[in-house]
Structure 1
Amino acid sequence: MHASDPQTVLVVAPHPDDETLGCGGTVLRHVQRGDRVHWVIVTAVKTSHGFSEERVRSRDAEIDAVARAYGFAGVHRLDFPTMTLDTVPKGDLVGALGRVVKETSAQILYVPYRNDAHTDHAAVFDAAAACAKTFRYPSVRSVRAYETLSETEFGIRPDDPGFRPNLFIDIADQLDKKLEIMGIFASELGPFPFPRSEVALRALAQLRGSQSGVMAAEAFMLLKEIQ
């Protein structure tokens, strides 16, 4: 495989908006270069989970609009109940995510950081890690953990060394579009200093850019790479 060949990318989001917060600009770059990008949404809000019909309709509309804005090759909704993944058997999560990895022959996985404050993120990371075993999922060549504003920086586990990026992707040309797409998730945003705000998102992109010599960047922990 050559670097210029189209690749199949799987962006694993515990909740809708995590993909945009963590790697929205990178997703846009992948799509622009002709890669096949699939969006996995692990959790869902449903009336059976105690959410109102209005909230369910609103979230479904947001997901549809975001999918169109990115131009995803596929959207895979696993429909586990939100905010309760720590109660779901790990085998169920691995099985559901693993089926998508195999169906898409995903080569690059973007996953949440293991020590984010939200327990859903930890559960999704663990499931994704199980789906990166080469002898079971040979298509997977790269695994990259993204940071999620409002979760990564609020993890306070004493044994956590912190998010230590070793991969930076230039998103100077994609940042405005990323912020525009994030605006679709109106219910998840708030005014600065709320962490999920346009000001905070732009500031983080500029900080990561300053660390990598570009105007704006997204940062990742490269956990696995086979070349």
Structure 2
Amino acid sequence: MNGLNHFGKVLAIAPHPDDEVLGCGGTLVRLVAEGHPVTVAVATTGRPPHFAEDQVQRVAGEMRRAHAVLGVRDTRLIGLPAAAMDTLPASETNAAFGQLIDEVAPDTLLLPFIGDIHLDHQLTFLAAMVASRPRHDKAPSQILCYETLSETNWYAPPTTPAFVPNVFIDIEATLDRKLEAFSAFESQVRPFPEERSVEAIKALARLRGATVHLRAAEAFMTIRQILR
């Protein structure tokens, strides 16, 4: 395959603001630069009393700045309750994701990994998979899962699903933009050696790249590909 041409129209779904930057920010910069329509949808929004209103507004502003760095112009907010998706009926969650995927009609879907420790990540994956069942010609033809530092590797593999990547996307030219976008989330950046640090993100990109003889990469697991 020639680069990312086969990705077509792309929808990246993040359980929370910043997950899409951590998991596939460098890839999103590449996709935008190569002319692909790119939409980022954030599944949840913080709600009182668990999240103070000023905190929610601060993160929303950080997200807008981060997406500007990535070059993403189409951001959708689904508005489900953060850290409380499990309190909703599955039918309600599935319907929200179904409406999103019907509206965007992506060729490629980028999702969090089912084995992430945060339940919001697991439920986002499951609802998106329900919504993208291949029942018609407009169903996504490619579904990939990205890894999220401090979520993907903190569960309990092999007791729980393990992230074993089989797709590596070269982000040598876009790694700095990914790091800049994450730095826009000032409320989320932590000092090294915490995983949500600029140093850890850069180290993971170098490691994933070296795995396949690249200087920097983002790693994904293929869930489904339909080749027409």
Same fold (TM over 0.5): yes
Q: 1:74 to 1:210 in 2, by over 3 A?
A: same
Aligned length: 225
Tell me the residue number matched to 1:33: 34
Q: 1:60 to 1:211 in 2, by over 3 A?
A: same
Q: Is the 8 A contact 2:13 2:111 kept in 1?
A: yes
Tell me the residue number matched to 1:156: 156
C-alpha distance in 1, partners of 2:155/2:88?
Answer: 21
Tell me the residue number matched to 2:13: 12
Tell me the residue number matched to 2:129: 129
Q: 1:149 to 1:137 in 2, by over 3 A?
A: farther
Tell me the residue number matched to 2:200: 200
Q: 1:59 to 1:151 in 2, by over 3 A?
A: same
Offset of residue 166 of structure 1 = 0.4
- The alignment's C-alpha RMSD in Å is 1.8
C-alpha distance in 2, partners of 1:137/1:43?
Answer: 29
| Letter paired with 1:220 | F
Q: Is the 8 A contact 2:114 2:161 kept in 1?
A: no
Tell me the residue number matched to 2:188: 188
Q: Deviations for 1:109-154, whole angstroms, at most 9, x for unmatched residues?
A: 0000001111110000101111221115733110000000000110
Aligned-residue sequence identity (percent) comes to 37
| Letter paired with 2:30 | R
Moved >3 Å (runs of 4+): 2-6
Q: Which runs of 5+ in 2 are unaligned?
A: none
More divergent stretch after superposition (55-64 vs 210-219): 55-64
- SS of equivalent residue, structure 1 residue 153: coil
C-alpha distance in 2, partners of 1:54/1:79?
Answer: 17
C-alpha distance in 2, partners of 1:61/1:22?
Answer: 20
| Letter paired with 1:221 | M
Q: Is the 8 A contact 2:11 2:41 kept in 1?
A: yes
Check if 1:95 corresponds to 2:111: no
C-alpha distance in 2, partners of 1:226/1:74?
Answer: 25
Q: Which runs of 5+ in 1 are unaligned?
A: none
Q: Deviations for 1:184-205, whole angstroms, at most 9, x for unmatched residues?
A: 1111111111000011101100
Q: Is the 8 A contact 2:8 2:107 kept in 1?
A: yes
Map of 1:208-223 to 2, 5 A cutoff? 208-223=208-223
TM-score (norm 2): 0.93
- SS of equivalent residue, structure 2 residue 187: helix
Q: Is the 8 A contact 1:131 1:137 kept in 2?
A: no
C-alpha distance in 2, partners of 1:31/1:158?
Answer: 36
TM-score (norm 1): 0.93
| Letter paired with 2:40 | W
| Letter paired with 2:177 | K
Q: Is the 8 A contact 1:36 1:73 kept in 2?
A: no
| Letter paired with 2:219 | A
Q: Deviations for 1:85-113, whole angstroms, at most 9, x for unmatched residues?
A: 12222221211111111111111000000
Q: 1:137 to 1:184 in 2, by over 3 A?
A: farther
